[in-house]
Structure 1
Amino acid sequence: MALGNNDLCQSQFCIKAANHLINSIDQSVDPCDNFYQFTCGKWLKNNRTSEDEDKWKFPGIILDENIIDLLSTNETVKLQSVMNARILYSSCINETNIEKEGIDPILSLINTQFGGWPILQGSSWKSSTFNLTNLLLKLHQYNYNFIFSISSEVDEKNSSA
């Protein structure tokens, strides 16, 4: 990450991110009156879809236009989180390796991290060595909360709701 005199990030990554944010802000709205409209209004206006279109189109636009560019660049970055994201992204798009390895990586993960799975292991699976608490903790570490989750979303058409 390149830093200027004022500790201002001037890398290509930061410039693109800042440009995206600037192009999303609706400066005609007072942020004290409607912060959501101020921060996202211009983006919503420029990326409007009809009622019957898939609402998941918006994240796809962002992913396609910005994130892929940032993850596939060869620009040197010292941030570990960006390096990890690039490694993950490159492993996801490496179809040759995915086809070569098949389902072995996921089976290994199930067996080594999650204590196996009776459906896959049949009679060799031992319930006496299985620990549900450890499984739930491991799943939580992978950010997989299948029992319950709590979330909130903003209604794009009614920011006061």
Structure 2
Amino acid sequence: MMHKIVVFLLLFILLSCANSQPRRPINPKPSTTSFQKSVEASKRLIEFEESEILRFISRDTILNYKTSANGFWYAYNTKIDGQTTTPKTGDLVEFYYDIRNLKNSVIYAKEELGIRTYKIDQEDFISGIQKGIKLMKVGETITFVIPSYNAFGVFGDGNKIEMNTTIISTVTLLNNKN
């Protein structure tokens, strides 16, 4: 009797494993064409924003803009020469700033935004300004022209800044508590 049970179990195991089929996904893979369309749309948006920024910069006869390796443009309103240090990761800085659009219309005035205290690279803030503050010395004022992908991106700020909006911000570094 034991012999029959063992044979039955062996046959059952062999037969149940012999016909295993891999399961097929319920949903097919997403097409790469939608991804490619998204990439192409992003490239067109970046090209458009950069051409608008260059047009704005070319009309500004007062400031001399430089291109940053971090994807924004900047110009010194007030520059301090000398051996003073610039903020680095972990420093606590105080600054005031405003936000304007490419028509130079004020979106948020510096009085509305007030003095901002910010810990370098350890808080969520406008990406372009985060990187730009690292270029500044206490007492300097810099105007940044920041494309949407370094500002508020495809969502805007949920209030006054719409999606894909290039911003201009004039920042004055008041204090660096390193």
TM range (shorter): under 0.3
Relative to its length, the structure with more strand (as a share) is: 2
Could you state the TM-score of these two structures normalised by the residue count of structure 1?
0.21
TM-score (norm 2): 0.20
